[in-house]
Amino acid sequence: MKEKDRFILDIKRLGINGEGIGFYNKLAIFVKDAIPGEGIEVEVTKVLPNMAYAKALTIKNKSNARVLPECPYYSRCGACQVMHIDYQKMGEFKRDAVIEAIKRYTKINPKRFEIKQTILAQEPYHYRNKATLVVRKDKGMNAISMIEEGTNRSFAVDSCLVQDELINKINQKIIELSNELKIKTLGDDNYSWRYLVTRVTKATRESLVCLVVYKYDDEIKNFAKKLLESKICDSLYININNDSKTHEIFGTDTIHIGGKNSVIEMIGKYKFNIYPTTFFQLNTKQTEVLYERVKKAAKLTHQERVLDAYCGVGTIASYLANVSKEVIGIEYNKESIVAAKENLKLNKIKNISFYQGDTAKLLLELIKKDINFDVAVFDPPRTGLGKDIIDTLLKTNIKRIVYVSCNPATLAKDLALLTEKYNIRYIEPIDMFPNTSHVESITLLDLKK
């Protein structure tokens, strides 16, 4: 097989980025926007030793799950990958992704425990409570932009179908004001403004805006002053990121310009302060569903000491506190720990302690001090737990582990190691990011007798 070859390919499953996957002489071929069950005439675009890529030419056998994407930018934008698939059917594919990862990365038989149906979101659109967007010139005018799929290029958009509608409205007002003031952005010589970060809370409908700038000059100071006067948002910050080579959004200096110091979000009855750089789940309503399932899996009876690893600003810890004897949260990010302690006071919770540092090291230190845990909840980044933490866990006798994963591949690899000492009771996928290929799940493990 070589580039430009054409043939009919039967699509068998979805890849982790939402591509359809078919096989040609046992070689996996990835096809953008293809759906399992479809027969597609493809043209090979790239051949690698262990895989190939192809583009769809003609759909010979269309899937009943294929729908017309509602977003006008879908064909260009890389933010959503599966808007062309019926939402109910996509829930099945996300469950399949978990099963496929276990088969691929482990010797575990996924039929030996329950893999539940995916919990779908009630609102598959306008669910995101935060937008981080490039601001640049388009036809001589400032515009918010999305990154074009598979490139570093951006293109102008008026709004985004998965962002909170209030975010879209706020962003448009800010862009209009920036054009009136002729604020320099990417594409201008000697520009100042780089990114627009906008948050809107679902509970209180408060808004926080942060302008990420290359330099905090008189032009930006005047822009910020006019933004405050216009009362477009409830809280306004400036973040200075003067590293032109970094791919990080935020720089080290964040300045509160005016309005509220923070905005309040709620999960269930618990309140949380949100700042510009605070990590917080992007889908607030589905997060409450997720935490309820975590609480159910943990089976707490007010008698347990609970570990909340990767605790962030203490959202899961707070949610479990009223059914636990004690909760201890561990988080590496210093700013998050500061916010977590603020949230304890905000919610008047007295049975949570937070520790800042590396999870594996701190867990060992706590155990050496005879601080043992009955239940541990882990919500790690996409890289998963990793061998150091798992090695530490295998030295403990924690009775029950609730593992919240955002990556089926790393989940599977971690489960392969954890099953040395733990049984998998079930895995429950939950769709935190509708219209994307991302798969979140909750795995319950208990100690082997």
Q: Which residues are catalytic?
A: 406
Rounded Cα–Cα distance for residues 426 and 424 (Å) = 6
First to last CA, the chain: 52
Cβ neighbours of residue 329 closer than 8 Å, sequence gap 6 or more:
307, 308, 309, 311, 314, 317, 340, 352, 353, 354, 355
Answer for the pair 391, 414: CB distance below 8 angstroms, yes or no.
no
Answer for the pair 259, 274: CB distance below 8 angstroms, yes or no.
no
Q: Are strands 130-138 and 141-147 parallel, antiparallel or unpaired?
A: antiparallel
For residue 127, give the amino acid letter.
Answer: Y
Rounded alpha-carbon distances, angstroms, from residue 443 to 309, 313, 345, 388, 402:
15, 22, 31, 20, 6
For residue 262, give the amino acid letter.
Answer: S
Rounded Cα–Cα distance for residues 444 and 404 (Å) = 9
CB atoms within 10 A of CB 189: 5
Cβ neighbours of residue 350 closer than 8 Å, sequence gap 6 or more:
344
Two structure tokens written together for 332: 């590496």
What length does the chain have?
A: 449
Two structure tokens written together for 74: 């879908």
DSSP one-letter code for 110: G
For residue 407, give the amino acid letter.
Answer: N
Q: Angle 274-119-101 (CA atoms, 0-180°, nearest 5)?
A: 100
The CA R_g of the chain, rounded to the nearest whole Å, is: 24
Rounded alpha-carbon distances, angstroms, from residue 181 to 177, 190, 220:
6, 16, 10
